[in-house]
Protein backbone atom coordinates (compact mmCIF):
# COMPACT_ATOMS: atom_id res chain seq x y z
CA UNK A 1 0.00 0.00 0.00
CA UNK A 2 1.29 3.44 -0.93
CA UNK A 3 0.96 6.59 1.16
CA UNK A 4 0.22 10.19 0.21
CA UNK A 5 0.98 12.65 3.03
CA UNK A 6 -0.18 16.18 3.64
CA UNK A 7 1.59 17.75 6.61
CA UNK A 8 1.14 20.96 8.53
CA UNK A 9 -2.19 22.07 7.07
CA UNK A 10 -3.02 25.16 9.15
CA UNK A 11 -6.75 25.85 9.53
CA UNK A 12 -8.68 28.39 11.59
CA UNK A 13 -11.73 26.99 13.39
CA UNK A 14 -13.83 27.11 16.54
CA UNK A 15 -12.47 24.38 18.82
CA UNK A 16 -12.41 23.92 22.58
CA UNK A 17 -14.47 23.46 25.69
CA UNK A 18 -13.88 26.81 27.41
CA UNK A 19 -16.23 29.75 26.81
CA UNK A 20 -13.46 31.94 25.39
CA UNK A 21 -12.56 29.20 22.92
CA UNK A 22 -16.12 29.20 21.59
CA UNK A 23 -15.90 32.93 20.80
CA UNK A 24 -12.82 33.11 18.59
CA UNK A 25 -11.20 30.95 15.98
CA UNK A 26 -7.98 29.14 16.79
CA UNK A 27 -5.41 27.53 14.54
CA UNK A 28 -5.28 23.77 14.37
CA UNK A 29 -2.65 21.89 12.40
CA UNK A 30 -3.66 18.83 10.43
CA UNK A 31 -1.51 16.01 9.11
CA UNK A 32 -3.05 13.45 6.78
CA UNK A 33 -1.67 10.15 5.59
CA UNK A 34 -3.78 8.60 2.83
CA UNK A 35 -3.16 4.97 1.94
CA UNK A 36 -4.00 3.93 -1.61
CA UNK A 37 -2.40 2.32 -4.61
CA UNK A 38 -0.42 4.73 -6.77
CA UNK A 39 0.58 2.10 -9.36
CA UNK A 40 -1.71 3.38 -12.12
CA UNK A 41 -0.56 6.97 -11.63
CA UNK A 42 3.08 5.96 -11.59
CA UNK A 43 2.71 3.99 -14.82
CA UNK A 44 0.65 6.63 -16.66
CA UNK A 45 2.20 9.77 -15.13
CA UNK A 46 -1.35 11.14 -15.18
CA UNK A 47 -2.90 12.99 -12.25
CA UNK A 48 -6.30 11.53 -13.18
CA UNK A 49 -5.05 8.18 -11.84
CA UNK A 50 -4.23 9.36 -8.33
CA UNK A 51 -5.72 11.25 -5.42
CA UNK A 52 -5.21 14.98 -5.94
CA UNK A 53 -3.58 16.12 -2.72
CA UNK A 54 -4.62 19.69 -3.46
CA UNK A 55 -8.23 18.52 -3.65
CA UNK A 56 -7.91 16.71 -0.32
CA UNK A 57 -6.29 19.74 1.33
CA UNK A 58 -9.03 22.09 0.07
CA UNK A 59 -11.76 19.68 1.14
CA UNK A 60 -10.25 19.25 4.62
CA UNK A 61 -9.73 23.00 5.02
CA UNK A 62 -13.32 23.82 4.04
CA UNK A 63 -14.71 21.20 6.39
CA UNK A 64 -12.57 22.22 9.37
CA UNK A 65 -13.13 25.97 8.85
CA UNK A 66 -16.90 25.45 8.95
CA UNK A 67 -16.87 23.06 11.93
CA UNK A 68 -17.47 23.78 15.60
CA UNK A 69 -16.20 20.95 17.80
CA UNK A 70 -15.35 20.88 21.47
CA UNK A 71 -12.69 18.19 21.17
CA UNK A 72 -9.88 17.64 18.69
CA UNK A 73 -10.78 13.93 18.98
CA UNK A 74 -14.21 14.68 17.51
CA UNK A 75 -12.75 16.84 14.78
CA UNK A 76 -10.24 14.14 13.77
CA UNK A 77 -12.94 11.47 13.66
CA UNK A 78 -15.40 13.55 11.63
CA UNK A 79 -12.72 14.62 9.17
CA UNK A 80 -11.57 11.04 8.65
CA UNK A 81 -15.15 9.88 7.97
CA UNK A 82 -15.63 12.55 5.32
CA UNK A 83 -12.33 11.86 3.59
CA UNK A 84 -13.10 8.12 3.47
CA UNK A 85 -16.51 8.91 1.93
CA UNK A 86 -15.14 11.29 -0.69
CA UNK A 87 -11.75 9.95 -1.78
CA UNK A 88 -10.58 6.48 -2.88
CA UNK A 89 -8.41 5.68 0.11
CA UNK A 90 -8.40 2.35 1.91
CA UNK A 91 -6.94 3.66 5.15
CA UNK A 92 -5.93 7.00 6.59
CA UNK A 93 -4.24 8.55 9.57
CA UNK A 94 -5.40 11.95 10.76
CA UNK A 95 -3.50 14.01 13.31
CA UNK A 96 -5.06 17.18 14.67
CA UNK A 97 -2.73 19.41 16.68
CA UNK A 98 -3.70 22.36 18.84
CA UNK A 99 -0.55 24.39 19.50
CA UNK A 100 -0.53 26.27 22.79
CA UNK A 101 -3.52 24.41 24.25
CA UNK A 102 -1.62 23.45 27.39
CA UNK A 103 0.51 25.90 29.31
CA UNK A 104 4.22 25.09 29.07
CA UNK A 105 3.62 22.63 26.21
CA UNK A 106 4.38 23.45 22.62
CA UNK A 107 1.56 21.32 21.28
CA UNK A 108 -1.11 18.76 22.01
CA UNK A 109 -2.44 16.41 19.36
CA UNK A 110 -4.64 13.45 18.67
CA UNK A 111 -3.86 10.88 15.98
CA UNK A 112 -6.42 8.41 14.71
CA UNK A 113 -6.39 5.70 12.09
CA UNK A 114 -9.48 4.66 10.16
CA UNK A 115 -10.11 2.30 7.27
CA UNK A 116 -12.93 1.17 5.02
| 9-68-7 Cα angle (round to 5) | 10
Q: Which one from 5, 98, 109, 110 is the annotated catalytic residue?
A: 98
State pLDDT tens for residues 72-81.
999 999 999 9
Handedness of CA 47, 54, 108, 80 (dihedral sign): negative
**Catalytic: 98?**
yes
- Report whether 87 contacts 94 (CB < 8 A): no
Total-model pTM: 0.93
Q: Which domains does the chain show, CATH number per domain?
A: 2-115 (3.30.1130.10)
State pLDDT tens for residues 38-84.
999 999 999 999 999 999 999 999 999 999 999 999 999 999 999 99
DSSP letter assigned to residue 100: T
Amino acid sequence: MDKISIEGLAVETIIGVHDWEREQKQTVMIDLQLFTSTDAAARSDDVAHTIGYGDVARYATEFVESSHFNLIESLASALSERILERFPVTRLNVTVSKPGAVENAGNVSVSIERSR
